Structure 1
Amino acid sequence: MQRYLFPIITGILGCAILLSLGVWQVQRLGWKENMLAEIQARIDGAAITLPASYQPQMKYQPVEIAGRTTGQEILVLSGTRDLGGGYQVISGFETDDGRRIMVDRGFIQQDDRHKPRPATDLRITGNLHWPEEKSGSTPEPNLTEGIWFAREVPRMASQLGTEDMLVVAREVQGDDQGVMPIPISIQGVPNRHLEYAATWFMLAVIWAGMTVALIWRIRQRKF
C-alpha cells in the first residue's frame, strides 16, 4: 500500500489545484460578464449635454453635442474587418457654446487620407471615452504626417488645442465628409475566462488519467 501512497496523494493534490483554478476562472467569467453588462448599460443610457468637467465614472456616458469641426484633425492608424486598413479621424470640435473638445468621428479608408475635410457644422450623439491604447511597444506619433498609432487623449488634446475630452461619435447629423462612425462597443473587450476554465478542467482530467496510469504501472511491477 505504501507504494501507492505518494502517487495517490500527488494525484489528489494536483487535481484539487487544477479544479480550483478552473472554478476560479468560472467565477471570473461571471464577474466579467456582469462588468460588461454594466458597461453596455452605460453605453446605451440616455444622452446628456456635455458635462462641465470629466469624472472617472463618466466614461462611456452618452452625450449630445452640436457645433462645428475646426478643420484640424489627427489620423490614428486603424482598420476594420470589412474595409481593411485605414484611419480613425479625431477632429477638433467647437461646440455652440464655445467649448473646444475632440470628436472621434469614425473610420476612413487609406485612399481617403488626403481628401479635404474642412470645417463643417455637425450634431453628434456619442459617448465620452478616455481610451488607454498606448503600450511600451507603441511607436511615437508621426507629427509631420499627422499619423498616430494610438488614441492618447491628453497628447491629442494638446496637439489640437482642445480640452482633455473625447466624444466617440455614434450618430452624426450633417455632412459626415465620408467618415463612417465606429460607435463604442463591448465586442472588442477580451473575455476568455470560459476558455481558461475549460483548459484547467481538461488538465485536471489529464492529471487524473496520468495518476491512474502510474498506479496501474506500479501494480503491474508488483507481479
Structure 2
Amino acid sequence: MTRRLRWPRLILVSLFAAVLLTGFLRLGVWQVQRLHWKLDLIERVDARIHASPVPAPAADAEVSREGDEYTRVTLTGTYLNDDEVLIYTPSDFGPAYWVLTPLQRDDGSVVMINRGVVPQQDGEASGFVRIDGETTVTGLLRMSEDEGWLFSRDNNPQERLWYRRDIGSITRAMGFDVAAPYFIDQELTLPGAWPRGGMTVVRFRNAHLGYALTWFALALVVVAGYGLLLRYELRPPPEAG
C-alpha cells in the first residue's frame, strides 16, 4: 500500500520550487557574466593607466565612462588660476581639498585639471603652488561626478561652494562657453609640494564571484528541500498494527 499523494499541495510546491530555482540560477549566471565584465574592465583600465599618454579629447568630443575613463592623456595650455575651485575631500592627510583649475587651450576651450590634494588649512590660506604661463599636463581622464552619493551635499554655485567634481555645473557657473565634459587627474609633478598630484585611487569592487556562489547555493537549497518533500510524500505509509 502506498501513501496517497496530496496533489494540489504537491503541484503548488513544485511550481513554487521551479520559480525559485529558475530565479536563483538566472541570478547566479548573471553574476558570473558580471564577474567576467568586471575582470575585463580591470584589465583594460590597468592597461590604460600604464600606457603612454595620448592627446586629450577635444572639448566637443564624445567621451564615455566605459571607453575613455582612466585613459592617460596629455594637453597643453595656460592655467586660469583666478577661477580655481576647491572641493572638500577626506584624504590621507586629513581633511583636505581637491584643487581644480581650468586650463585654457590654444583653441579657447577649457579643461578642468584636478591638480591634486591640499590640506584644508593650506587650501583655505592659499598655501599651495600655482603655475603661470603655458604648461603641459599629463594625467588620467576622469568623468564628471554628476550624481552625488547618498549623504553628499549638493554643489552651491551661487555661493561657490563645491562638494563634488560636477564639471558641468562648475564650468557653467564660471561662464565658460566651450568646456570639456571631463576632467584630468594630474600626475605627481612636484614631490613634497602642494597640491599633491597622482592621488587617483583606481579600485573596483569585485564581489560578483561571492554573489554568484550565494545564488547557486540557494538554488541547491531549493533542490534539496524539494527532494526531501518528494521523499516524504512518496514513502510508504506505516503498516497498521
Please give the TM-score of this superposition, normalised by the length of structure 1: 0.76
Alpha-carbon shift at residue 144 of structure 1 (Å): 6.3
Distance 1:58 1:10, change over 3 A: closer
Distance 1:51 1:135, change over 3 A: closer
Distance 1:27 1:97, change over 3 A: closer
Counterpart residue identity of residue 179, structure 1? P
Separation (CA, whole Å) in 2 of partners of 1:3 and 1:29 = 43
- Between Structure 1 and Structure 2, the one with more strand by share is 1
Among the aligned pairs, what percent are the same residue?
A: 26
Partner of 1:202: 217
Root-mean-square deviation over aligned CA pairs: 3.5
Give the counterpart of 2:131 among 120, 143, 146: 120
Separation (CA, whole Å) in 2 of partners of 1:63 and 1:45 = 9
Give the counterpart of 1:159 among 173, 188, 194: 173
Structure with larger Rg: 2
Show the 5 A alignment for 1:164-183: 164-165=179-180, 166-172=183-189, 177-183=193-199
Give the counterpart of 1:55 among 55, 62, 84: 62
Counterpart residue identity of residue 216, structure 2? F
Partner of 1:15: 21
Show the 5 A alignment for 1:55-94: 55-56=62-63, 57-71=67-81, 72-80=83-91, 82-94=92-104
Alpha-carbon shift at residue 103 of structure 1 (Å): 0.5
- Post-superposition Cα deviations, 1:93-147, rounded to whole Å, max 9, x if no partner, equal 2457865431011222333331214642454211232223424965332346633
Give the counterpart of 1:146 among 160, 167, 170: 160
Distance 1:16 1:222, change over 3 A: farther
Partner of 1:38: 44
Partner of 2:116: 106
Alpha-carbon shift at residue 215 of structure 1 (Å): 4.0
Number of residues paired by the alignment? Answer: 220
User: Contact (CA 8 Å) 2:24, 2:219: kept in 1 or not?
Assistant: yes
User: Contact (CA 8 Å) 2:5, 2:234: kept in 1 or not?
Assistant: no
In structure 2, the residue corresponding to 1:147 is in which secondary structure?
coil
Separation (CA, whole Å) in 2 of partners of 1:132 and 1:35 = 19
Separation (CA, whole Å) in 2 of partners of 1:83 and 1:214 = 60
Provide structure 2 residue ranges, at least 5 long, that are not aligned to the other structure. Answer: none
User: Contact (CA 8 Å) 2:49, 2:71: kept in 1 or not?
Assistant: yes
In structure 2, the residue corresponding to 1:22 is in which secondary structure?
helix
- Post-superposition Cα deviations, 1:16-53, rounded to whole Å, max 9, x if no partner, equal 43223212211221122213322332333321334444
In structure 1, the residue corresponding to 2:34 is in which secondary structure?
helix
Alpha-carbon shift at residue 87 of structure 1 (Å): 2.2
